[in-house]
Structure 1
Amino acid sequence: MLENKYDDESFFQKYSQMDRSQNGLASAGEWSTLAKLLPDFTDKKLLDLGCGFGWHCRYAVEHGAAAAVGIDISQKMLAVARSKTDSDKITYLCQPIEKLDFPPQSFDIVLSSLALHYVNDFDALCAQASCCLKAGGEFIFSVEHPIFTAAGAQQWHYDPDGTISHWPVDNYFNEGQRTAIFLGEQITKYHKTLTTYLNTLLQNSFSLRQVVEPQPSLELLSTIPAMGDELRRPMMLIVAAQKQN
């Protein structure tokens, strides 16, 4: 059975209190980088995989999209998305990302933000995304970086005096399930190498447009001193790909 941690009441309440949950895209540290990779939404149809609270669907429609479909496995997430949405151009569907079943060439853009590391079979997901995209369509996604997911625990190692020693990277080439602690709770994720992410796209009729390992902005670095630790290892990977004819 596919994990649906976001409908667990305790976990959902903790997630709902995060800055990015409260304030949306403005509080997502990677948003300034991701936004630069997005195509023109004018008259386009968007599919958002793991849409959560619907921030990207609303952004797309606000920037001219003809329609946006957001899918998510969590009823709780979608309830919030619907409460924040006032547009008949946006449709939310409760279903797993892994169960995509749209007619061929249904969308111009497929977008996913920090959701695909919850998907085990990335090859099947890419095949589905390729099928439902029109020729020339864009597939843009952010995931937790393979260096961030490799060891599994996703925790810094500390010296005896409490200062950060290093970020552990282990079992990098051993892809598959990891158990991480996020918001104080155990959650299942799936580690994949950088090779797997990029080559799987190439094998499913995509060409690479941009590959970015986002760093904290100068503003964040100047206002939140602890953010400097984020320069010691990449936390996220953002990829923009285009479906070939």
Structure 2
Amino acid sequence: MDKNSVYRTNIIGAGEAGVAISVDMDMNVVHKTNSLFWDTKGNDVLGATSLPFYGAYVSEEQCQLFGDVSGKKLLEIGCGSGQSLQYQGERKASELWGMDLSENQIEKTRQHLTACGLSAKLICSPMEEECGLPVDYFDFVYSIYAIGWTTDLEGTFSRIASYLKKDGVFIFSWSHPIHKCVVTEEDILVFKKSYFDESWYSVSLDESTLTLSDRKLSTYVNALAKAGFVIEQMIEQSDTGDSNSDFAKKAKMLPVTFVIKARKL
């Protein structure tokens, strides 16, 4: 391992591990790398998290963050394969919109919703960039395990605020940053990475490469405040039930997912 390599304990929350190479953040390179990852092996390598689940052991049934969405206009950032949009469509949302970096994911979403008898307006674009979405339009913008892929968190939150009506709600989930610092060794939790390290890195998984940064919770909170949001609720708890897997044991000791509900002022 050279001086630019570090051991990453977790990549996106389900315990993926590997050697990561520290990299300089180049927005165009990151977009190209990550869109190729999701166009090819992303779902096979990382799977897909979708509503009603916000992440491991955290669900909308438990949290009730959305409430009644019937008649509401919803936009999903990082729509993946379309299951979360299906969930909202079946709950009688009046309009479904989705955005994703990957053309392949957009097509998967389109096919999945069509098979479910639903439709959505879908846009392939990085979440950081202007893409023609209407402003002051949506009742809800949400993102399930996708926000962390942005190269510009403050810019992304600012754009999301512009899409929402006044008093509109933004809900998102992502892998908890403390989860990415800790591994289990012989039933003991051990820190392997500094919580404060937000450097960008690339890691190869199953012959595919992705590029990420692990941000602190305060980075998300401060970016929300700067974009004009007020946080109404934050979820860190895990409901592991009777599961006794190594991952569940870890989740009983520290959060693996966080969810934030914020409102546009």
TM bucket normalised to smaller: 0.7 to 0.9
Counterpart position of 1:99 = 129
CA 1:62–1:201 in 2, change beyond 3 Å: closer, same or farther? same
Structure with more relative contact order (C-alpha pairs < 8 Å, separation 6 or more): 2
Residue 237 of structure 1 aligns to which amino acid in structure 2? F
5 Å-filtered alignment, 1:173-212, equals 173-180=196-203, 186-212=209-235
- Conserved? CA contact 1:11–1:183, under 8 Å: no
Distance 1:204 1:93 in 2: 23
Tell me the CA shift for residue 6 of structure 1. 0.9
CA 1:157–1:29 in 2, change beyond 3 Å: closer, same or farther? closer
Tell me the CA shift for residue 169 of structure 1. 5.3
- Conserved? CA contact 1:120–1:177, under 8 Å: no
Distance 2:162 2:57 in 1: 28
Secondary structure of the 2:92 match is coil
Q: Which has a greater percent of helix? A: 1
Which one is further off, 115-124 or 73-82?
73-82
- Conserved? CA contact 1:104–1:132, under 8 Å: yes
Matched, 1:231 2:231: no
Identity across aligned pairs (percent)?
Answer: 24
Counterpart position of 1:130 = 161
Which one is further off, 191-200 or 25-34?
25-34
- Conserved? CA contact 2:230–2:262, under 8 Å: yes
5 Å-filtered alignment, 1:1-245, equals 1=28, 2=31, 3-4=34-35, 5-8=37-40, 10-15=41-46, 18=47, 25=52, 29-33=56-60, 36-86=64-114, 87=117, 89-101=119-131, 102-149=133-180, 151=181, 156=183, 158=185, 163-168=186-191, 170-180=193-203, 186-218=209-241, 222-226=242-246, 227-244=248-265
TM-score of the aligned structures, taking structure 2 as reference length: 0.75
Q: Which runs of 5+ in 1 are unaligned?
A: none
Secondary structure of the 1:98 match is coil
Tell me the CA shift for residue 78 of structure 1. 2.3
Which one is further off, 193-202 or 225-234?
225-234
Distance 2:213 2:155 in 1: 14
> Cα RMSD over matched residues?
2.7
Q: Which runs of 5+ in 2 are unaligned?
A: 1-27
> Which aligned segments of 4 or more residues in structure 1 are displaced greater than 4 angstroms?
23-28, 180-186
Tell me the CA shift for residue 195 of structure 1. 1.1
Residue 195 of structure 2 aligns to which amino acid in structure 1? Y
Secondary structure of the 2:261 match is strand
Distance 1:212 1:24 in 2: 15
CA 1:27–1:141 in 2, change beyond 3 Å: closer, same or farther? closer
Give the count of matched residue pairs.
228
Counterpart position of 2:16 = none
CA 1:30–1:125 in 2, change beyond 3 Å: closer, same or farther? farther
Secondary structure of the 2:221 match is helix
Secondary structure of the 2:158 match is helix
Tell me the CA shift for residue 225 of structure 1. 3.4
- Conserved? CA contact 1:108–1:133, under 8 Å: yes
Secondary structure of the 1:46 match is strand
CA 1:186–1:132 in 2, change beyond 3 Å: closer, same or farther? same
Residue 183 of structure 2 aligns to which amino acid in structure 1? W
